[in-house]
Amino acid sequence: MSGEANGANGNVNQEPDFAQASLESLHVELLTLTDVQAFKDLQRGERAAAALEGHLDLLEKKIEELLAKADEDERRMQASSKPSPDKLSSEDKGKDGSVA
């Protein structure tokens, strides 16, 4: 800013620096616009993150269901593949009654 000394008492008259004021105003407006855009971007990112989290929760639930079904199927297969004592005695014995 520019100023002039006023005679003997040394008072300085401040002249407005319109260019500096305009630059400061423009800077504040740019910051404000940048802040608004950043806030919008942040909101969009948070919505996307929430949607992804929801999808991941659904995937996790489906994976858990599939694992539980696979475990149940495995138990059923093991149970059905184990010969019962009755089957063992009739299937594994030959005509002479010996175990093969």
Evaluate whether residue 11 is within a structural domain: no
Cα separation, 56 vs 48, in Å, equals: 12
Q: Is residue 51 part of a domain?
A: yes
Q: Is residue 94 part of a domain?
A: no
Range of the domain at 70: 17-80
Nearest to 49 by CA among 57, 37, 34: 57
| Position 55 in a domain | yes
Which two structure tokens, joined as six digits, stand for 92?
A: 């594994």
Report the domain count for the chain.
Answer: 1
The pLDDT of residue 41 is above 90: yes
* Tens digits of residue pLDDT in 82-97: 766 665 555 555 555 5
pLDDT computed for residue 19 by the predictor: 73
Residue 90 lies in a domain: no
Residue 57 belongs to some domain of the structure: yes
d(C-alpha 45, C-alpha 26), whole Å: 28
Instruction: Tell me the pLDDT of the chain averaged across its residues.
Output: 78
